[in-house]
Structure 1
Amino acid sequence: MTEYDDRLQEVEQYKAKFKENKQLVNDARKTSKALADAILLKDENFASLKRRNGENVRLKKQLEETKEQLETTILEVSKVKGELDSALVEISGLKMSIPTEKDVAVQ
């Protein structure tokens, strides 16, 4: 009977070990799936960041072009303002040289 009990105890140990191994395999599968999901998420985030970076580069280039256009416009406006100021000075001089009605009446 002791041999039977020994065998039964050995079988129970194998069953316990099998159950433990089965749990380890299940845990490994879950871990593997979690890692695969994490890698997929990382790849998706990387692709998203890459797209955003491309968009940021495009916007930066567009901003630089707009800045250059604005600087050109400011230079043109300054030039026109200078011409306008010169014209106003000339008009003021001409205005002073035109005799008024009072000047004409005195003469």
Structure 2
Amino acid sequence: METVRATIEWTPEIDRFVLWAEDLVGSAFVPEPIGDDPLASLLLEVDEDERETGRVVGVEMAILEFDRWGDLPTLDRPWQLRGWEPLPLDALLKRVQRELRQRQRQRQLKAAQRGASAPEG
């Protein structure tokens, strides 16, 4: 079973997260909602006739708040970020979510500390 090598983009200010399959970056795709979450979609590759090819190009979601893991389909190929072991898609996304939540907490703590040490004027 071939592993999908992937990369991520995350904009923390708006919690926009995208996981891309590296070999399919630049492919045309259509979003397929994950369950009834309006902020989560599988990105499905389409061919030049705009027909779905059956390949998943990526996932887009508000990852910090995502909790609809049961709605995420089980894919037949593991996904892998650079330096990580191959994982099922849901396991990879859960691990990324834990790490990004921790990073966000650290950012908020630093911002609060800067605000508390700012001189009043």
Q: TM-score range by the shorter chain?
A: 0.3 to 0.5
TM-score between both structures, scaled by the size of structure 1: 0.32
TM-score (norm 2): 0.29
More strand by share: 2
More helix by share: 1
Query: Whose relative contact order is higher, 1 or 2, with alpha carbons under 8 Å and at least 6 apart?
Result: 2
